[in-house]
Amino acid sequence: MCATCGCGINETGSHSHGHDHPHDHAAEGRLISIERDILAKNAGFAAGNRRLFTERGVFALNLVSSPGSGKTTLLAQTVQTLREEFPVAVIGGDQQTARDAERIQAAGAPAVQINTGKGCHLDAHGVGHALEQLPIPEGGVLFIENVGNLVCPADFDLGEADKVVVLSVTEGEDKPLKYANIFSAARLMLLNKTDLLPYVDFEVERCLEYARRVNPDIQILQLSARTGDGMVAWLDWVRQGQQAVLAQQISRLEAELTSARARLAVSGR
Amino acid sequence: MHEMALAESILNIVEETARNQAATRVTGLRLEIGELANVESEALQFCLDVVLRGSLADGAQVEILTIPGQGQCLECGAIVRLSTLYDPCPQCDGYPVRPAGGQEMRVKDIRVE
Ligand SMILES: Nc1nc2c(ncn2[C@@H]2O[C@H](COP(=O)(O)OP(=O)(O)O)[C@@H](O)[C@H]2O)c(=O)[nH]1
Ligand SMILES: [Mg+2]
Ligand SMILES: [Zn+2]
């Protein structure tokens, strides 16, 4: 039997398959083992971005959600406050326009837009190039607003410290189950538009339970980017992440300093 | 649809490997996809049909091997089969079950001439 296609012909020599191509039964070819992650290339670029963030002490967040959940509104409010405290910058992914970047710039932060065209997610390579067009927010925070889509961005590591999934109360409480992969990949879920809760059928507790079911470790904050309700807790969450990155940078630099001093002591002997 | 991006990444890996091995044609391709991975196997098959056309791997037989999902129940501690990220533990009916395998997406091997 032909091992290539499973057809029943067992004589040697060439024959043609109706569905594909002629091939030679005397030479069935070699099997080459690969065992490589399909997204290995993206992972390589993501590692490069992550190295840059580590070196420059940048806390990088990848915000994912469906279109219209309020990411840009939230980020405009967020950078307006935080830019007084440390450097901030925003990379936005959008299929067509640069409107989101303009909204962020109006709020006083550097922003660059990546137009993905038909692409439904950002990838680490594109983010790497966007970083060349931005002042790196050294010792501060980089917010990456992903393309509005709850499926595809789950797979593409951008080099961020954490994914933040934004869900608004107008979208239905079952979304964590329907888009389990992205809720499973996120460190934090922001439940936005809580000002609209009186007007929609949305069972908050059930939604939170669903989110914890697919991700036992997920942290959850509720807020309204419109009224500012709950914003303080979110801003504190970001500040804590930024401080943790700075603390890591300090211990890394101290370790480098110690080993440089040790080398000097040895060579000066 | 990110299956298209996945298919393109797969083609990249396949072509790079085939070139390194001085192969002229790829006749078979096997993928390992975890049951809990964020992929629709049918959509991936479709995208591969499109992407492989005209390449070194045009007409290659594509086989997708499913790696079963696994998780640990945080209620009872049992290691259990898990076919979605939100299923309850089949032993105690509890939640949540932390996934511990079955999220991989790999190119396993290729057959070349
Ligand atoms: N009521 C209410 N509307 C909001 C809130 N946050 C954002 N919006 C509105 O939701 C719409 C989409 O917001 P946008 O920030 O563009 O969402 P994005 O697509 O996720 O970036 C806009 O009309 C916003 O004004 C909120 O907390 N409450
Ligand atoms: Mg937006
Ligand atoms: Zn259990």
Name the phi and psi angles at A147, rounded to 5: -65, 140
Amino acid B29: pLDDT: 97
B84 SS3 class: coil
* Distance (Å, whole) CA A226 – CA A182: 25
Q: Which residues lie closer than 8 Å to A239 by C-beta, 6 or more apart?
A: A82, A85
3-state DSSP: chain B helix, strand, coil percent, rounded to 5? Answer: 25, 30, 45
Which residues are CB-contacts of B61 (< 8 A; sequence separation ≥ 6)? A4, A5, A20, B27, B28, B29
Provide the edge-to-edge strand list for the sheet that holds B105-112.
Answer: A30-37, B105-112, B26-34, B61-67
Provide the CA A131 distance to its chain's centre, in angstroms.
Answer: 15
Share of chain B above pLDDT 90, in %: 97
Average pLDDT, chain B: 95
Residue with tokens 């043609």: A16
Quick one: pLDDT band at residue A94, thresholds 50, 70, 90? confident
How many Å apart are CA B10 and CA B48, to the nearest integer? 8
* Res A85: pLDDT: 98
- In this prediction the pTM is 0.90
Structure confidence at residue A3 as a pLDDT band (50, 70, 90): very low
A206 token code pair: 């059930």
Question: What is the structure's pLDDT at A160?
Answer: 98
CB within 8 Å of B8: residues ≥ 6 apart: B51
Residue A254, judged by CB atoms within 10 A of its CB (0-12, 13-18, 19+), counts as exposed
Per-residue pLDDT tens for B47-70?
A: 999 999 999 999 999 999 999 999
Interface of B with A (CB under 8 A): 1-2, 5-6, 9-10, 12-13, 17-18, 21, 23, 27-28, 31, 36-38, 58-59, 61, 74, 84-86, 95-96, 98-99, 104-113
Angstrom distance (rounded) from CA A181 to CA A162: 15
Instruction: Choose the residue to mutate in A62, A71, A73, A96 for probing ligand 1, maximizing ligand atoms within 8 Å of C-beta.
Output: A73
pLDDT averaged over every residue in chain A: 90
Residue-wise pLDDT tens digits, A170-217: 999 999 999 999 999 999 999 999 999 999 999 999 999 999 999 999
Per-residue pLDDT band at A267 (split at 50, 70, 90) = confident
pLDDT digits (tens, 9 = 90+) for A145-173: 999 999 999 999 999 999 999 999 999 99
Average pLDDT on A216-229 reads 98
3-class SS at A30?
strand
Paired sense of beta strands A141-145 and A59-64, if any: parallel
Q: What is the pLDDT of residue B111?
A: 97
What is the distance between the alpha carbons of residues A151 and A139, in angstroms, rounded to a whole number? 31
What is the distance of C-alpha A92 from the center of its chain? 12
Q: Do A210 and B86 touch (CB under 8 A)?
A: yes
Check: CB of residue B79 under 8 Å from CB of residue B100. yes
| d(C-alpha B14, C-alpha B10), whole Å | 6
pLDDT of residue A209: 96
Phi, psi (5° rounding) for residue A27? -125, 90
CB of A190 sitting under 6 A from ligand 1: no
Which string of DSSP letters, residue by residue, matches B9-34?
HHHHHHHHHHHHTT-S-EEEEEEEEE
Q: Is the pLDDT of residue B44 over 70?
A: yes
Supply the pLDDT for residue A269: 72
- The pLDDT of residue A118 is 77
Instruction: Determine the residue type at A59.
Output: F
Q: What is the pLDDT of residue A268?
A: 74
Q: Is the CB of A222 under 6 A from ligand 1?
A: no
At residue A90, the pLDDT reads: 98
A131 confidence band (pLDDT: 50, 70, 90): very high
Q: pLDDT digit string (tens) for A6-44?
A: 333 333 334 444 444 455 444 478 999 999 999 999 999
Nearest residue CA, atom 8 of ligand 1?
A: A70
Give the per-residue pLDDT at A6. Answer: 36
Mean pLDDT confidence for A47-60:
97
Which superfamily does A46-252 belong to?
P-loop containing nucleotide triphosphate hydrolases (3.40.50.300)
Q: Which residues pair with B80 in a beta bridge?
A: B71
DSSP designation for A39:
T
A207 forms beta bridges with none
Among A20-24, A60-64, B6-10, B62-66, where is mean pLDDT lowest? A20-24
Q: All domains of chain B, ordered by start, with CATH?
A: 2-112 (3.30.2320.50)
Tokens representing A267 are 């060579």
For residues A42 and A157, what is the distance between their CA atoms, to the nearest angstrom? 7
List the structure tokens of B82.
């898990």
